[in-house]
A and B are shown apart, each in its own frame.
Chain A
Amino acid sequence: MFTETDTLENVDAAPSPTVYGGDDGRRTRTVGALKVTAEATAKRMAWVAQIHAVRDNQDRSAFAELFGYFAPRVKSFLMKSGASPDLAEECTQEVMATLWNKAHMFDPAKASVSTWIFTIARNRKIDLLRKQRRPEPEDLPWGPEESPDQADALGLAQETEQLGRALATLPDEQRKLIERAYFGELSHSEIAAETGLPLGTIKSRIRLALVRLRHAMK
C-alpha cells in the first residue's frame, strides 16, 4: 500500500507554485481557481490509509510513515506556540501516541488528517502548556448511514489541500498574521474582525453533512 512513498516525497519537494499566478506577481485568491494536483490529494489519501492501517492492523510501519512526516511539524508548531524544545518533544510523542490510540475515532469525511492531528496537538498544548481543561462541543451521533464515505473523504482532502494552497498564496503580511493567531501570539481581541481568510468550501461540506444528519435524526 505504501509503495508510492517515493513519488510522494517528490511531490513534497516540488510544491508546484506555478499554478498560482502570472509573472506580474499578482496571485489569484479564489479558492476554487487553485488547481489541486492529483499527487497532492493522493498524498493526503495515503495518510488516511496509514491511519486506517494503524486502526485495523496496528501497522507499525504505517505509523512510522505518519510519525516521520508529522512529528517534526507538530514539534515545530508547539515550539512556535511557546513550548521549550524538551516540552515540545515530550508533547509531540504524546500527540503521536494519541493518534495511535484514537485511530478508531478518525473519520476522514469529517476532518482531514492534517486537521485531526492539529486538533490533537492543540489539545495536548492546552493540557501541558496552559494546564487548563478544554471544554469541547458535544459529539454528534453520526449514525451508520453517516459512516465515512470515500467520496466525501476525497472531497474533503481536496478542499483541505486547496485551503492550504490558498493560505500559501496570501500576501506575506496577512499570512503571518494568521500564523501568529494560531501560534498564540495574538489574543482574540487583537485579531481583526475580518482576517480575509479565503474560507467557505469546507464549511459548506460539513454543513451539508450536518443537514443530512439532522434530517436522519428526525
Chain B
Amino acid sequence: MMNDMKQIKHHLTEPLLIGYAAGTLPEAFNLVVATHITMCDDCRAALAEYDAVGGEVMLDSDPVTIAEDALAATMAMIDGGFGTDKPAPVRARNSIFPGPLQDYVSGDVESLKWRKVGGGVSQLVLKTSDDASVRLLRIPAGTKVPDHGHRGTELTLVLQGAFTDEHERFGAGDVEVANEDMNHTPIAEAGMDCICLAATDAPLRFNGIVPRLAQRFIGI
C-alpha cells in the first residue's frame, strides 16, 4: 500500500471533505472517504484542515447556557467510568481492504460471497444506513461495466487493479467522483481483476434496455 500512495492522482473533492469533517455525509460515503484517506496522505492532510475549520466554526458559535449542575454531572459520569475505551478492532495486514473497510467486510477477496450482476461483474453490498448504499465491485480484467448515468453522486474507489474511464486512468487509491451530468463507461485494465468500493446516494441508471431490466433484478 505504501507504494500506491505516491501514485494517487484522483482525490476527494472539497464538498466531500467538508461533509466528512462536518459529519453530514451518509455512512456509505463516510466509508469511502475514510478508506481513501487511509490510502492517501494528501487527503489526510487536507482533512486535518477541514476539521480545523470545524473547530473554529464551533469556537465562534455564540455560547449557550448549560445546566447549572453540568460540570458536577460530567464529573459524576467520569467517576462512574463513562466510555471506557473499547479495544481497538483487530485488523489484518496485507489485505487489499484498508482498516476502515475491514470493519464492514469479513474475509478476503476469494472467500467473500460475491453475487454476479451480469457481464462478468460481481458485487457485494455492504450494510450501512439506508440514506446511501455502498458495495464492493469485482470487474474481471478487460471487462467493460455497462454505460450508466447517475441521479445522485457516485464515488468509486479503486482497491486493486485499475480502470479507465473516457481518457482517465484510475489505479489503486484513486477515487472517481461522478455526478448526475456524467455518463461513464469504466473498463477494467487487462492483467488483474479490478476491485472497487462504490457508494451512491441514488440508484445507478443504466442506459439501454437490457441493463435497465437487469438493474431491476439486481438492485443496483
Q: Do A and B come from one complex?
A: yes
Residues of chain B within 8 A (CB-CB) of A126 are: 23
Size category, B interface: 35 or more
Tell which of B69-77, B110-118, B138-146, B204-212 binds the partner: B69-77
Given A118-B54, A135-B34, A138-B98, decide whether A182 and B18 contact each other with a Cβ distance below 8 A.
Answer: yes
Considering only CB atoms, which chain B residue lies closest to A44 in the complex?
A: B59
Query: What 0/1 readout, one digit per residue, does chain B (75-90) give for beta carbons within 8 Å of chain A?
Result: 1011000111100000
Q: Is the CB of B34 within 8 A of A136?
A: yes
Q: Is the CB of A92 within 8 A of B66?
A: yes
Total A-B Cβ pairs within 8 A? 223
Residues of B33-83 contacting chain A, CB below 8 A? 33-35, 37-38, 41-42, 44-49, 51-67, 70-71, 73-75, 77-78, 82-83
Query: What 0/1 readout, one digit per residue, does chain A (112-153) give for beta carbons within 8 Å of chain B?
Result: 101111110111011000111111111010000000000000
Q: Is the CB of A101 within 8 A of B52?
A: no
Q: Is the CB of B66 within 8 A of A163?
A: no
Count A-side interface residues using an 8 Å CB cutoff. 82
Residues of chain B within 8 A (CB-CB) of A188 are: 15-16, 18-19, 24-25, 29, 153
Q: Is the CB of A72 within 8 A of B18?
A: no
Given A92-B66, A115-B52, A191-B14, decide whether A97 and B99 contact each other with a Cβ distance below 8 A.
Answer: no
Confirm or deny: B203 has a beta carbon within 8 angstroms of a beta carbon on chain A. Answer: no
CA gap between A126 and B91 in the complex, in Å: 24
Q: Is the CB of A75 within 8 A of B58?
A: no
Residues of chain A within 8 A (CB-CB) of B31 are: 135
CA gap between A163 and B21 in the complex, in Å: 16
Residues of chain A within 8 A (CB-CB) of B21 are: 122, 182
Query: What 0/1 readout, one digit per residue, does chain A (177-196) give for beta carbons within 8 Å of chain B?
Result: 01101111011110111110
Residues of chain B within 8 A (CB-CB) of A98 are: 82-83
Q: Is the CB of A135 within 8 A of B46?
A: no
Confirm or deny: A71 has a beta carbon within 8 angstroms of a beta carbon on chain B. Answer: yes
Q: Is the CB of A160 within 8 A of B44?
A: no
Confirm or deny: B13 has a beta carbon within 8 angstroms of a beta carbon on chain A. Answer: yes
Within the complex, the shortest CB–CB distance from B87 to chain A, in Å, comes to: 14
Residues of chain A within 8 A (CB-CB) of B153 are: 188-189
Within the complex, the shortest CB–CB distance from A55 to chain B, in Å, comes to: 13
B99 is contacted by which of A85, A112, A138, A204 (Cβ under 8 Å)? A138
Q: Is the CB of B61 within 8 A of A203?
A: no
Most buried by A among B15, B16, B66: B66
CA gap between A67 and B72 in the complex, in Å: 11
Given A60-B75, A97-B77, A178-B57, decide whether A136 and B15 contact each other with a Cβ distance below 8 A.
Answer: no
Query: Can you list 8 A-B contacts with CB-CB less than 8 angstroms, sorted by A residue number?
Result: A122-B22, A123-B23, A134-B30, A137-B47, A181-B24, A188-B16, A188-B18, A188-B24
